[in-house]
Chain A
Amino acid sequence: MLTLPQFFFIYFALAIIFLAGMAVNVRNPVHSVLLVLAMFFHMAGVYLMLNAEFLAAVQVIVYAGAVLVLYLFVVFLVNIKEEIRLKRFIGSYTTGRVITIGMLATLLAAAWSFKLGPAGTWSIEAVREITHTRALGIEMFSHYMLPFEIAGVILLVAVVGGMALAKKDRNRATTTEERRALMRGEELGE
């Protein structure tokens, strides 16, 4: 007889595999994004089962709420009527299959040598006692302060880079008419 957590784990695991497979297989890219959305929710479910409630919430807010919506924007730009009629496989797809099956075999072979690592300071009870959010905060702002800051700086560089790219030459225009002309793609007369 399955216990309740086991039942839920098996459900989440099967659902993730099924939804991920479907996401690759459906022809309509918007449906694909929707299936990935459902998959992200199931992943959040797995995080919840691991007592990582903060991670589960962030998974939904960041991936489902922001990243995937941006994907959706990109997909909206695709002409879906043509996309559905496209040929699904390129000429070299047999090579791809061989590589994929090889990687799957490697993963499965490696799975047998899995060993549980030594227990750290954050046992399930310790995390439950002070809540996962606090535990994560304490770790992140003490032990992992430097990696955290470095990640922050890298993201900042990406933000500034994005702005620099998007801005282009538009600051050359001084009057509204000039700005409109630039937006239409015309060159400014001296």
Chain B
Amino acid sequence: MVIEILLTILLIVVVFSVIMLHVAYATYFERKVIGHMQVRMGPMRVGPHGLLQPIADGIKLFFKEDVFPETADKPTFYAAPIICLVAALTSIAVIPFWEGMAISDINIGLLFILAMSSLAGWGVVLAGWASNSKYAFLGGLRASAQIISYEIAMGLSIVGVMMMAGSLNMSEIVKAQAQSPFGIYAIPQVLGFFVFLVAMLAETNRTPFDMPECESELVAGYCTEYAGFRFALFFLGEYVGMIVMASVGTICFLGGWTGPFEVPFFPIIWFMLKVYFLIFFFYWVRATLPRYRYDQIMALGWKVLIPLALGNVILTGIMKTFVWH
């Protein structure tokens, strides 16, 4: 019993470190990808090809002064970035990286992730309110409306996968997927996959849906008043959120840890490649598309994505009952 608990804690520490390393280099990857897409070099100064840049950034953020706005609401202001990061990190616990390798392989894995992603919205909203600044507040309000709207689309887009796999457990979904005719659900669930990809961008507040932080009109949105490491917590939360969403996409639509052939000694390779591809997709979209207007975001969410996802659910139901049976 005690040894089991210690082993789990060790596993958590290992996964946490790996994820944090990924977050650090996701920022580097982002700057490089966007740099090259805009015919620039990206970070080049710190280390060879700027490879030590994320570490320099981390040290800089860590040693910056912790500024606290005088009129801010203290407990809420302190709690908000922590809620953001904790919600994102907790989701990692239920993600299976390869067969049998998840910190906690629970039966309601997918619902758990949806629950945690809705909690991450709280961090943003509270940060906006607690800062007592109009830019932050507007950012927070935009975030809450956006996250609520796109959460519905995201939940509905995964329903098709749940119906096909007959389970909410993420490992079971991957196993059911491996036995399906195409091997990945992205082909039969192409509508669901599309809705998921768009909702994924909106849920993590990435361009073209980055209205909550929207530099050109809101300074930095909800994290305007945050400095130093408290700002870094938001930043970490956002990138962990991206990794979580990319993992969910990989597991639900791209076949999880399964691949064209088995790789001995390194079973995580396919999972990693697929997650990296989806993270690249985030940056690709960011470098390509301009930001949406706020009413366009709402109209897209409610009038296009939710009906599409609902249609996908009905279609999947019909197919499952009459065709694939």
- Contact residue range for chain B? 20 to 34
In contact, B108 and A54 (Cβ under 8 angstroms): yes
* Residues B76 and A34 in contact, CB atoms below 8 Å apart: yes
Q: How far is the CA of A107 from the CA of B73 in the complex (A)?
A: 38
* A73 at interface by CB-CB < 8 Å: yes
Q: Is the CB of B144 within 8 A of A73?
A: yes
Please name all residues of chain B whose beta carbon is closer than 8 Å to the beta carbon of A28 when the two chains form the complex. 73
CA distance A57 to B108 in the complex (A): 8
Given contacts A34-B76, A131-B107, contact A69 B148 (CB under 8 A): yes
* A-chain residues with CB within 8 Å of residue B155 when the two chains form the complex: 61
B46 at the interface (CB under 8 A from A): no
In chain A, positions 110-139 with a C-beta closer than 8 Å to chain B are 131-133
Contact of A61 among B75, B79, B114 (CB under 8 A): B114
A30 at the interface (CB under 8 A from B): yes
Is there a chain B Cβ closer than 8 Å to A21's Cβ? Answer: no
Interface majority SS (helix, strand, loop, mixed), chain B: helix
Residue of B nearest to A53 (CB): B108
112-149 of chain B: CB within 8 A of chain A: 112, 114-115, 118-119, 121-122, 125-126, 129, 141, 144, 148
Query: Residue A72 at the B interface, CB < 8 A?
Result: yes
Q: Within 8 Å CB of A131, what residues of B?
A: 107
Task: Identify which of residues 26-55 in chain A touch chain B, using a CB-to-CB cut-off of 8 Å.
Answer: 28, 30-31, 34, 37, 53-54
The docked-state distance in angstroms from the alpha carbon of A37 to that of B87 is 14
Chain B residues with CB under 8 Å of chain A are: 73, 75-76, 79, 106-108, 111-112, 114-115, 118-119, 121-122, 125-126, 129, 141, 144, 148, 151, 155, 168
- Supply 13 further A-B pairs (C-beta < 8 A) apart from A31-B76, A69-B125: A30-B126, A53-B107, A57-B114, A66-B118, A69-B122, A69-B148, A70-B148, A72-B129, A73-B141, A131-B107, A133-B107, A133-B108, A133-B168
Chain A interface (Cβ within 8 Å of chain B)?
Answer: 28, 30-31, 34, 37, 53-54, 56-58, 60-61, 64-66, 69-70, 72-73, 76, 131-133
